[in-house]
């Protein structure tokens, strides 16, 4: 007979409350020959929650902002909310299916092929898609991925597509299920693969791993062409020492959770929270126990009311060396460097004395 905590763990792993998404379809104003609206995908700056459970979406709206709306998920009645949260504090549950990375080919009848770039799991045969001969050659791996993506985009597909599935627990929302986030990004997969060993250690110890997840909007220039693309970023909040020594598990469930909104993470060795530094500035980047991102600094700059606040944000930018990172200003679809945006905001705003008077 399974112990109660094992049953809870199985419930958390097997029950999916809903999905986390970073995009949505918007109408183009055109219709096809059958009179149906033609849509196009757009990338969001914040997370979108979808679920068949209205109460789950209402809870997400209360926690992260946004308006609850009905959503037609390919004929299935569900609900959605586009939140105000660009970053989520989550817990990765133990288990082999918490984060999976596969190459898959789907048809109307379901998944036809599923491989790991070396072997096709359904038939046991070698992988039938383009792959890198040298698994340590990053350029060869990326070239094979691009060729595979081109073949996967053919109709019908001639190769598998990358599928990264991540299941997270949002500890400040009700229910015991997970929220799943899918991605087809090679860069997202590469970033996660570097952390797989730590995740495996937590899985083997049966502990939950606190983490932060956000959308990193990146820009690349290649052969004179500028590409903009979103990448799912996962940051583990536990230290290697806490995981390797078993301190994370010994600290109990409280140590395995990310900090609650507005709080810092508990120090496992002392059991006490480290108080955040006092700061009376009304407009600053989001404060927690992790370094700020360029986008967080830019969002704070958008709310600034005088040049003194921009000077403070520029110091943060210089301290963390993120001035050359690309950001997307609020209410804009154009990416630019953080330092360029801070300079523009500085020129727009008055000095503090002028605001006070």
d(CA 100, CA 189): 9
The answer to whether position 300 is within a domain reads yes
Highest mean pLDDT among 10-19, 27-36, 82-91, 294-303: 82-91
Examine the pLDDT at 59 and tell me if it is beyond 60.
yes
Averaged pLDDT for residues 33-54: 87
Q: Are strands 326-327 and 336-337 parallel, antiparallel or unpaired?
A: antiparallel
Burial 240-273 (b: 16+ CB within 10 A, else e): eebbeeebbbebeeebbbbbeeeeebbebeeeee
Within-domain flag for 260: no
Find the mean pLDDT for residues 239-263: 81
* Other CB atoms within 10 A of residue 119 CB: 11
Give the model's pLDDT for residue 39: 80
pTM beyond 0.75: the answer is no
pLDDT band at residue 99 under the 50/70/90 scheme: confident
If pLDDT is split at 50, 70 and 90, which confidence band does 333 have? low
Domain count, the chain: 1
Residue that is written with structure tokens 């997969």 in the block: 189
Per-residue tokens: 305: 């009311």
280, pLDDT greater than 50: no
In whole angstroms, give the CA distance from residue 351 to residue 357: 10
Mean pLDDT across the chain, nearest whole number?
Answer: 79
pLDDT for the residue 71: 93
Alpha-carbon span 354 to 94, nearest angstrom: 55
| Alpha carbon distance 294, 286 (integer Å) | 11
Q: Is residue 293 part of a domain?
A: yes
Specify if 281 maps to a domain.
yes
Q: Quick check: is 29 in a domain?
A: no
3 found inside a domain: no
Nearest to 118 by CA among 105, 106, 135: 135
Does residue 270 belong to any structural domain of this protein? no
Confidence class of residue 11 from pLDDT cuts 50, 70 and 90?
A: very low
In terms of residue numbers, what domain contains 325?
A: 276-356
Between the CA atoms of 243, 249, 251 and 253, what dihedral angle is there, to the nearest 10 degrees?
120
The answer to whether residue 339 sits within a structural domain is: yes
């Amino acid at each position: 007979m399974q112990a109660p905590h094992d049953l809870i763990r199985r419930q958390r792993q097997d029950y999916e409350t809903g999905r986390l998404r970073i995009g949505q379809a918007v109408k183009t104003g055109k219709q096809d020959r059958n009179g149906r609206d033609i849509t196009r995908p757009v990338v969001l700056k914040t997370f979108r929650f979808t679920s068949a459970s209205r109460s789950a979406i209402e809870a997400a709206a209360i926690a992260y902002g946004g308006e609850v709306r009905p959503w037609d998920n390919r004929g299935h009645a569900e609900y959605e909310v586009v939140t105000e949260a660009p970053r989520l504090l989550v817990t990765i549950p133990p288990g082999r299916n918490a984060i999976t990375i596969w190459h898959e080919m789907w048809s109307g009848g379901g998944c036809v092929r599923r491989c790991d770039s070396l072997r096709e799991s359904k038939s046991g045969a070698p992988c039938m898609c383009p792959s890198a001969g040298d698994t340590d050659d990053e350029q060869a791996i990326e070239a094979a991925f691009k060729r595979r993506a081109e073949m996967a985009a053919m109709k019908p597909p001639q190769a598998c597509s990358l599928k990264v599935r991540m299941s997270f627990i949002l500890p400040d929302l009700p229910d015991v299920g997970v929220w799943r986030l899918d991605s087809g990004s090679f860069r997202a997969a590469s970033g996660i693969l570097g952390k797989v060993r730590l995740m495996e250690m937590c899985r083997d110890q049966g502990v939950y791993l606190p983490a932060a997840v956000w959308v990193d909007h990146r820009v690349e220039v290649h052969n004179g062409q500028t590409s903009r693309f979103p990448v799912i970023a996962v940051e583990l909040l536990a230290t290697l020492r806490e995981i390797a020594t078993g301190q994370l598990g010994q600290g109990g469930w409280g140590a395995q959770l990310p900090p609650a909104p507005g709080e810092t993470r508990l120090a496992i060795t002392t059991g006490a929270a480290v108080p955040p530094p006092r700061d009376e500035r009304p407009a600053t980047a989001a404060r927690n126990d992790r370094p700020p991102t360029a986008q967080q600094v830019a969002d704070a700059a958008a709310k600034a009311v005088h040049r003194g606040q921009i000077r403070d944000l520029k110091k943060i930018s210089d301290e963390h060396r993120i001035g050359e990172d690309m950001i997307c200003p609020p209410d804009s679809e154009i990416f630019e460097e953080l330092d360029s945006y801070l300079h523009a905001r500085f020129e727009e705003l008055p000095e503090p004395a002028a605001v006070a008077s």
